[in-house]
Amino acid sequence: MRITGLDFCGVAVTPRTNWCFLLVRTEDGRTGLGECTLANQEALLAAEAARLASRVVGCDALARNRLARLLPHAQGGLVAQTVLSAFEGALWDLAGQALGRPIHALLGGALRETVPLYANINRGTNPRTPEGFAAAAGRALAAGFRAIKLAPFDPIIWEDAAEPGWRQGYAEGLARIAAVRAAIGPEHALMVDAHWRFSPGGAARLIQDVAGFDLFWLECPVAEANHAEIRRLRGMANDRGMRLAGAEALAGLAAYRPLIETGCYDVLMPDMKHCGGHEEMRRIAALALTAGVEIAPHNPTGPGCHAHSLHACATLPNLLPLEVQFGETERFFTLCPGASLGFSAGGAVVPGGAGLGVALDEADARATPWKPQATPWLDPRLG
């Protein structure tokens, strides 16, 4: 099953969001699908896809171990690792199609038929007031979700803590959390994503201030490389009954190993788009399991990553709910027809059928090509 082409497809789905896909084509007419969304890096992703194509066209699509090995020290950084992760996923899709089996069956079989989900309401919230966040949380509850996550602290960043308005921005973030907790009641799980916006000292204060909201976890309070402070903050969070979560933009087991061995996080969040694909996610989860660390894959983007994440999550024993972007765009459910990617009672059925179980509607996708984002979702200082 020789590879005849590798195509990049970037799709504008909202004024602030592009999804990016990798299509691997073979001589027998099959197409494997991977997702390589990486905000504000679309042009670089397309260039990296073309570079990868020059290396793999003509190769056997079933030679995955040779073609899609992730080397964390290799040049290219997260852009190259994201394209390689999508390529690895597309090769799994092709292998499943060729064998007539779903990806999760090739990974050893599903431990569960339905994957639990939590609703990330961040991009689906408008206006971004406490009332707007509460309304979005209410919509997620009405859709059957039992766990909600918000990112309430934009646009503050710790480097600007001396600037006028920072304290007010922080207070507004706490008000958003309070409004969502009031809207969902004490019986539903609440997570807060801090998007690395705090210094270690500011994060310590944050943990004290959010303790009364009974968070299930606090996510990414400080820069990912600050292991000593992350361990300290984990202890503070645990003392107040909440988990510390993070590590959503790392690639490969080698990057996760020190986080696991030094006890940085209660919950690791490898992303199928960045971590190296199915093989690396399973290795990360297996090592985490030996340390009692839970896995909640990062998954706030498009339907390709979501479908691959469902297959992976079906096989992981140390799984917490999988993230899904709630309320951003209905194209999430229509752009990749095939198995249903719908949500029901806070969960999603693992796709059946051969391979990934869904395929990109290329005509629909190419009707709205990706557009440069004038205003990045995150401040460039955050990544």
Report the CATH number at residue 230: 3.20.20.120
Domain membership flag for residue 372: no
Same domain, 25 and 137: no
User: Residue 249: its pLDDT value, please?
Assistant: 95
Same domain, 37 and 110: no
Whether the Cβ atoms of residue 276 and residue 70 lie closer than 8 Å to each other: yes
Domain membership flag for residue 362: no
Domain membership flag for residue 367: no
Same domain, 91 and 148: no
Same domain, 79 and 162: no
CA atoms of 119 and 132, how far apart (whole Å):
15
User: Residue 3: its pLDDT value, please?
Assistant: 98
Same domain, 120 and 237: yes
Same domain, 340 and 255: yes
Domain membership flag for residue 382: no
Same domain, 161 and 297: yes
Same domain, 217 and 307: yes
Give the domain CATH number at 11.
Answer: 3.30.390.10
User: Residue 73: its pLDDT value, please?
Assistant: 83
Residue where a domain terminates, one of 45, 71, 100: 100
Three-class DSSP category at 240: coil
How far from the centroid of its chain's Cα atoms is residue 37's Cα?
A: 10
Q: How many domains does the chain have?
A: 2
CA atoms of 247 and 159, how far apart (whole Å):
21
Three-class DSSP category at 363: helix
User: Residue 305 corresponds to which tokens in the numbers above?
Assistant: 């990553």
* DSSP annotation string for 158-191: GGGTTSTTHHHHHHHHHHHHHHHHHHH-TTSEEE
User: Residue 336: its pLDDT value, please?
Assistant: 98
Same domain, 63 and 30: yes
Same domain, 132 and 274: yes
pLDDT beneath 70: ranges in the chain: none
Domain membership flag for residue 371: no
Domain membership flag for residue 88: yes
User: Residue 282: its pLDDT value, please?
Assistant: 98
Residue where a domain terminates, one of 71, 100, 129: 100
Same domain, 128 and 258: yes
Which residues constitute the domain of residue 295? 105-357
Domain membership flag for residue 377: no
- Whole-model pTM above 0.95? yes
Domain membership flag for residue 201: yes
Same domain, 26 and 122: no
